[in-house]
Chain A
């Protein structure tokens, strides 16, 4: 069932429709909120406030954007307000100018001295593979901010770079840089995890 149908059911008082929307998006809300607020607890509070706002305003949702975009916008607005109250400075990507792959993996000429071991065909062709998906999820969860919010919105939730930039108030160029570094980090962790896999 898609989000619009679930929202329709929620408006009719269907508890299971609300639970399904929560299941789909709560963790994403927490990750996005975490970019703005000082602690994981605050981020949970923002996510909860977002659901309250959804319950109060669901009948006013006009469908001009997708439910997901509407939900995320509510979350970001609330997180920004909480962050300001906490005097929190939104983190910048401090490693922006450093290499995305460790320098020690290249020789002095800039060529690989420790090249990546290609994934086996079984990994490449089975994206539903639970070992791979767990490794990817763990890797994304290990990212710091702002990489975690950007990778989650772009690659997990499938927003465009432009949508991510608008939502987070960043330039598209900045989102691309953060995304590149986040993806490189995720790839590195997954590469390590897959080395020990028999897939």
Chain B
């Protein structure tokens, strides 16, 4: 007799979140997770937070650089241009 996979508990469901959002879970794993999510508001909230966080990571943009770092590099550029 083939045993059905046991249902996921929340502790295991959260470990699948990143791969789920990247679409890299196996079909079986994805189904197990989606079945769990259908009945679990907390894991759904967790997944949505992960989704928002990943999307926001792509929008953080470059940080302001300290002026001495920029100045140092611009000086390198001028040196290079003048030596050319």
| A interface with B by C-beta (< 8 Å) | 13, 15, 18-19, 22-28, 44, 48, 51-52, 55-56, 99-101, 103, 106, 109-112, 115-119, 123-124, 127-128, 132-133, 136-137, 139-140, 151, 155-156, 158, 161, 176, 179-180, 183-184, 186-187, 190-191
A-B contact number at CB 8 A: 142
Contact among B14, B48, B60 with A184 in the assembled complex (CB-CB below 8 Å): B14
What is the CB-to-nearest-CB distance from A32 to chain B, in angstroms, rounded to a whole number? 14
| B interface with A by C-beta (< 8 Å) | 9-12, 14-15, 17-19, 22, 24, 41-43, 45-46, 48-50, 52-63, 65, 69-70, 72-74, 76-78, 80-81, 84
- Can you list 26 A-B pairs, Cβ within 8 angstroms, ordered by A? A13-B81, A15-B77, A15-B81, A18-B73, A22-B73, A23-B70, A26-B73, A27-B62, A55-B76, A110-B12, A111-B10, A112-B42, A115-B41, A115-B42, A116-B46, A151-B57, A158-B58, A161-B22, A176-B18, A176-B22, A179-B18, A179-B22, A183-B18, A184-B18, A186-B57, A190-B53
Contact assessment for B52 and A119 in the assembled complex, using a CB-CB cutoff below 8 Å: yes
Contact assessment for A118 and B22 in the assembled complex, using a CB-CB cutoff below 8 Å: no
A-B pairs with lowest CB-CB distance, top 10: A110-B9, A115-B42, A180-B18, A155-B57, A110-B11, A118-B45, A55-B80, A112-B42, A136-B56, A106-B11
Contact among B9, B57, B65, B76 with A109 in the assembled complex (CB-CB below 8 Å): B9
- Give the residue name and chain of the A residue nearest to B24 (CB): A176
Contact among B15, B56, B72, B80 with A133 in the assembled complex (CB-CB below 8 Å): B56
Question: Hey, which chain B residues are within 8 Å of A119, CB to CB?
Answer: 45, 48-49, 52
Q: A26-B73, A48-B72 are in contact. Are A156 and B60 (CB under 8 A)?
A: yes
Contact assessment for B18 and A155 in the assembled complex, using a CB-CB cutoff below 8 Å: no
Contact assessment for A128 and B42 in the assembled complex, using a CB-CB cutoff below 8 Å: no
Contact among A26, A55, A110, A155 with B77 in the assembled complex (CB-CB below 8 Å): A55
Contact assessment for B74 and A15 in the assembled complex, using a CB-CB cutoff below 8 Å: yes
Q: A101-B11, A115-B42 are in contact. Are A183 and B76 (CB under 8 A)?
A: no
- Give the residue name and chain of the A residue nearest to B45 (CB): A118
Contact assessment for A100 and B14 in the assembled complex, using a CB-CB cutoff below 8 Å: yes
What is the CB-to-nearest-CB distance from A59 to chain B, in angstroms, rounded to a whole number? 10
Question: Hey, which chain B residues are within 8 Å of A127, CB to CB?
Answer: 52, 55-56, 59
Q: A116-B46, A137-B60 are in contact. Are A183 and B54 (CB under 8 A)?
A: yes
